[in-house]
Copies of this chain bind each other. A is one copy, B any other.
Amino acid sequence: MKRIKVSNNVIRRMPRYLRKLDDLTAAGVERISSGELGRQMGLTPSQIRQDFSCFGEFGQQGYGYNVVALRGEIAKILGMDRNYTAVLVGVGNIGRALVENFSFEQYGYKLKAAFDVNPDVIGSEIHSVPVYDFSKLEESLTAIRPDVAVLCVPKTMANEVAKEVCACGVHSIWNFTNTELQLEDTDVIVENIHFSDSLLALGYYLSESLDEAEAKAARARKD
């Protein structure tokens, strides 16, 4: 796929579009205008058209977008048709939550194996995903050659494990360890899910909302 450099803000909107288009399909909607899509997503129609124009011409003047076709284009853009494989390291609470409840396959990923140090889980299968001994990580990764390593190990082990998976040639890391990974190989893609960043952003918006309500009440009292 020929690519131009697209801004991160646009990239981050693409999965939202995908989710919305899936909801529309589930609701039996076959086509949608940029205006209506924008209304439903809280975006301006021109923003939507601008976003898609980074990748191609997906709509038709006067018709709008065909929901299924647009969804197909976005799925390709997001690599959902590339049969990416993943392994998960660290079958603690978060790791187990992902293996049991997160549908990797729905997003085009095959979760091939998980790794842990706990003898109670090693050798078992969770939702058909085999759990291997963490001490065998290197040889397993060399055999499996996954595209993504999902890191769910404790914070204190995060960098050590990250280093090991990179040394085995894994291209990308989905990082649930809640710490910044210090990697030497800057070609490795790291996608962080920082719970704390999210909660603190909530704290900002909550404080802003409460302050505004307080200021409004104070003005009302003066009147």
Contact = CB atoms under 8 A, between A and B. Distances in A.
Interface of A: 1, 3, 9, 11-12, 14-16, 18-19, 23, 77-80, 82, 84, 92-94, 96-98, 100-102, 104, 106-109, 147-148, 171-172, 174, 178, 180, 187, 189, 191, 193-212
26 contacts: A1-B207, A14-B201, A14-B204, A19-B194, A19-B197, A77-B204, A78-B200, A78-B203, A78-B207, A82-B203, A84-B203, A92-B97, A94-B94, A94-B97, A94-B101, A102-B195, A106-B196, A109-B199, A147-B206, A171-B206, A172-B206, A174-B202, A187-B209, A189-B209, A193-B193, A193-B195
Number of chain copies forming the complex: 2
Contact of A191 (B79, B107, B109, B201): B201
Given A171-B206, A197-B12, A211 B180 contact: no
Contact of A93 (B18, B96, B172, B200): B96
A196 B203 CA distance: 23
Contact of A174 (B82, B84, B107, B198): B198
Given A16-B197, A174-B199, A211-B3, A11 B204 contact: yes
Contacts of A197: 12, 15-16, 19
B79 A206 contact: yes
